[in-house]
Chain A
Amino acid sequence: MSDTTQTGPIPDKPATGDETGKHGEMLSADGRSLKSSLNRALRRQKLRALMLIAPLLIFVLVTFIAPIADMLFRSVENDIVTNTLPGTVEALDDWDHSVGEAPGEGVYDALYFDLFLAAEAKEHTKLGTRLNYEQTGLSSLFRSSGRGLDDVGDDYLDALEEVDERWGEGDFVYRLMTGTGPSETGFVADRVRVLEKMTSETLPGDVGFAPSEEIRQLLPATTLAYTDFATFTALVEEDVVAEEDPWEAVYVGLIEDLQTADVASYSGPEAEALQAAKAADIPLVPLKQFFADEDGDWLDPNVWATIQTYSPKYTSGYFLNAVDMQLTPDGISMRPENQQIYLKLFKRTMFMSLVITGSCILLGYPVAWLLANLPASRANLLMILVLLPFWTSLLVRTSAWKVMLQQQGVINDVLVWLGLVDDMNRLVMINNQFGTIVAMTHILLPFMILPLYSVMQGIPPTYLRAAKSLGATNWTAFWRVYFPQSVPGIGAGSILVFILSIGYYITPEIVGGTTGTFISNRIAYHISSSLNWGLAAALGSILLAVVLLLYWAYDRIVGIDNVKLG
């Protein structure tokens, strides 16, 4: 900014600078060649312009463009399955859904420990809700199974406590799991990351626990369960690990590990208790069996196929849902007939926007013509009638229409009073398509009249007179001479009205009832009521694409720079 005084006088000069450059060396005051000096000034000027624009550009990028980008991202983002059930997704990799059988024992083992951690962090219901969009029933499956996970561990603990009283104590298990020798700090860090992803929070701080390498090799499942317990206790609940009673999942892991572990050769802390537990030979309940008892649906291959289909981090599922298709394990297919609503809604939005645009043209054209052909003083007076609704709050106009169109409203009252409508059969003009079309035509009409008016002002009235003096009838003169010249105005107004109407939310929500709503009402519903944000984002992205396409057309026909207000 400080160099305005130096570069101020230069902007109009570059052309002359080029001219004189051809004739040879022309030096500016500081001894450089004039050409490079001018170039430098030009550069500086560009930079200054950019510096002035930069704050706003950054502001808009952060407050507006980033949210739009985030919405586009959310329409494909799908990391909740891998984040909540990381082990299960990995174990499910080898499973082939087309065999038609439930996956093997290993998948259920992984599911148990994943689900236990998720249930503690209260994340499993979110996953259930997410998967429920794709297959109904999964939400309750996850919710009910999350509640029963403790039972199997409790049984094991009872059996273990019969062998040794200390199995239920926190510091005893802590000592056993910590062991001696080099410890697995990397493993703990991994599990912290898993927990962070699952809860979508950063969890700083020290866990205060690390299993020894030896114990991890000896008791892998127990170590996993105990490490999860330790990270959750230390980082989320902020308690001391050794003082808390371990989760039931730890005992489930222990009993599993004891089936195969060679504890006789282990000599770390509490080794003899471990050997005693092994010697007690507590019967193992296979986890597949456990889940099958919890809910038979866990043996259903379709459930697993759905989980597998939606396990990748990105999915086209939301977009497919938005156009009434679905992503099934066998590929893409149409939704059942009775669940197809979005294509219908898109079509209805398009149709009603077209009707609204059409009625705006029909109503706007005569008014614009009148305004453009009246003497300026009277045109300005009538212009107030157009501009006042334009400047009045949208909600004022919508409430006015609600008041007028109601069955006990002004229009019905007048019609009844005039005897045109029977008091018992008052017209239903609100909460249907008619209400939306009337109210939105009224609201958007100024957006049609204003561009039409500015185009018509530029058409010389002498053309019409010339056509008539050459023998054209009134209609021919209008249709062949005047109308073609007003088409740019119709185009500009139509695109403007159409763009505005396909994204309308407030008016259809209030006067549209169920049959007069637009796709935007569905987007709002998914954001605030059904909480299916991904689908809302996908619907929004499609709508945005349509609008940008129209906007591009508008730019082609009218040009962004020609947008005028009032």
Chain B
Amino acid sequence: MSLVIVQPKPASFAAGVVAAFGAFFGLFFGTSQGSGILGIIAGAVVCGALAWAAVTFLREKETVGRWLFILIFAISGLVTSGLSGMVFGGLLGWLFGVITFFVASGRYRTAMPPYSTPGQVLWYYAFRTIAGAILVFLITPILVVMPLSFNAEDFFTFTPEMLKFDPAGYSLKHYRDFFTNSDWQQALWNSLRIAPMATILSVGFGTLAAIGLSQPHVPFRRAIMAILISPMIVPLIISAAGMYFFYSRIGLQGTYLGVVLAHAALGIPFVIITVTATLVGFDNSLTRAAANMGANPITTFFRVQMPLILPGVISGGLFAFITSFDEVVVVLFVGSAGQKTLPWQMFIGLREQISPTILAVATILVCISIALLATLELLRRRSERLRGMSPS
């Protein structure tokens, strides 16, 4: 793999590739101005010519060439449609600059074996483009929500002011609404009251059971495991229906306790799975060693076992917390108006009186999930480090 041949390509080749890209973007530019075909031709000609010129005269001065691209596109963007046009044009110029020199220098072949056919090279990049588009599909909805939450209007789309980067088009009013509206505050407070209690219950019971399950000889292990995992498998609507029927029979429907118990049950599988996974790498001779040195079982648990499985327990707890914090179907049925949680309030907002405050809440929740994701990643690394220390 060390054999890499980078051959500079002729200017005409680079110009051709860039012209194809130019035609693609020109199509959209053309349709927005009235004629698609004209756009294709114009895009191809302009971009191809620019690329040819850049490669012919600036092949050795790549940085200058790239900046020139950015400058040309940004200025033409500024002339046609103002500030937002400049930003957009600058991005486009950057892209064309990169492509032009990437192709012209022949660097695009470095990732492939030197004997690859042009078709294989084309497929290699086409495949990456497809996969990239899918990743964009995955992340776009989340990225779109964030700027929209700063909308100064009560619209769910970008206003012309926002697109012009006019400060008047942006405001924090939806956030203000979230923090001052009593409905939203009550919902937030309910969520914060329910989720930690449910988490404590599921982590407490779940950790004990996971330790029990990871002992070498457990009768009916599979059956027990199936029962404990079942809240994750059974569709939420069925759990919700069953809990609604049963809890109204025993008078728990519409109570705080009922919701907490229901959410704890839903969080248990996550605790069981993460903690048993951590315990797989746990070295049992450590507890024996502790016992050998005179520690009683409780000391052994808290001083030896617990610190080692703590990362697993915490990440199980985070899973349980997020399950309860995000859960809406079960609380919709088991809870009453007094237990209206944040997701419930969002659900009502989406179904009935759709208000942009939802987008502000959504942005806050995305930030929370980013924080959780980071915490989990750190915990995973720590757990691996700890397990790496213990002999296996």
Q: Which residues on A are within 8 Å of B, measured CB to CB?
A: 1-2, 4-5, 8-9, 11, 42, 45-46, 48-53, 55-57, 59-61, 63-71, 74, 363-364, 366-367, 369-370, 382, 384-389, 391-404, 406, 408-410, 413, 417-420, 442, 445-446, 474, 499-500, 502-506, 509-510, 520, 523-524, 527-528, 533, 536-537, 540, 543-544, 547-548, 551, 560-561, 563-566
Stretch in B12-20, B42-50, B135-143, B169-177 with 4+ CB within 8 Å of A: B135-143
The reply to whether B239 and A68 contact each other, CB–CB distance below 8 Å, is yes
The reply to whether B274 and A565 contact each other, CB–CB distance below 8 Å, is yes
Q: Which residues on B are within 8 Å of A, measured CB to CB?
A: 28, 31-34, 36, 120, 123, 127-128, 130-131, 134-135, 137-142, 144-145, 148, 155-158, 201, 205-206, 208-209, 211-213, 215-219, 222, 224-231, 233-247, 249, 261-262, 264-265, 268, 270, 273-274, 277, 284, 287-288, 291-292, 296-298, 300, 319, 322, 325-326, 328-329, 333, 343, 346-347, 350-351, 354, 358-359, 362, 365-366, 369-370, 372-373, 376, 380
The reply to whether B244 and A403 contact each other, CB–CB distance below 8 Å, is no
Indicate whether A565 sits within 8 Å of B270 (C-beta atoms), given known contacts A398-B350, A410-B157. yes
- Interface on chain B toward A: helix, strand, loop, or mixed SS? helix
A8 to B238, CA, bound (A): 43
Shortest Cβ distance from residue B327 to the other chain A in the assembled complex, whole angstroms: 9
Question: A547 is contacted by which of B156, B226, B234 (Cβ under 8 Å)?
Answer: B234
A369 to B225, CA, bound (A): 32
The reply to whether B347 and A510 contact each other, CB–CB distance below 8 Å, is yes
Shortest Cβ distance from residue B142 to the other chain A in the assembled complex, whole angstroms: 6
The reply to whether A386 and B138 contact each other, CB–CB distance below 8 Å, is yes
Question: B213 is contacted by which of A49, A509, A527, A543 (Cβ under 8 Å)?
Answer: A49
Shortest Cβ distance from residue A384 to the other chain B in the assembled complex, whole angstroms: 7
A-B contacts besides A393-B369, A399-B358, A401-B141, 9 pairs, CB < 8 Å: A9-B288, A56-B205, A60-B228, A394-B326, A396-B365, A399-B145, A403-B144, A410-B156, A420-B31
A363 to B319, CA, bound (A): 26
- Interface on chain A toward B: helix, strand, loop, or mixed SS? helix
Question: A396 is contacted by which of B268, B366, B372 (Cβ under 8 Å)?
Answer: B366
Kindly list chain B residues whose C-beta atoms are within 8 Å of the C-beta of A503.
234-238
The reply to whether A385 and B138 contact each other, CB–CB distance below 8 Å, is yes
Between B240, B274, B277, the greatest number of chain A beta carbons within 10 A of the residue's beta carbon is seen for B240
The reply to whether A399 and B346 contact each other, CB–CB distance below 8 Å, is yes
The reply to whether B142 and A400 contact each other, CB–CB distance below 8 Å, is yes
Indicate whether A400 sits within 8 Å of B362 (C-beta atoms), given known contacts A395-B343, A524-B237. yes
A227 to B259, CA, bound (A): 42
Question: B329 is contacted by which of A67, A417, A442, A505 (Cβ under 8 Å)?
Answer: A505
Kindly list chain B residues whose C-beta atoms are within 8 Å of the C-beta of A384.
373
A363 to B130, CA, bound (A): 9
A363 to B209, CA, bound (A): 38
Indicate whether A63 sits within 8 Å of B265 (C-beta atoms), given known contacts A4-B300, A563-B229. yes
Shortest Cβ distance from residue B102 to the other chain A in the assembled complex, whole angstroms: 17
Kindly list chain A residues whose C-beta atoms are within 8 Å of the C-beta of B230.
60, 64-65, 68
The reply to whether B369 and A391 contact each other, CB–CB distance below 8 Å, is yes
Kindly list chain B residues whose C-beta atoms are within 8 Å of the C-beta of A506.
328-329, 347
The reply to whether A70 and B242 contact each other, CB–CB distance below 8 Å, is yes
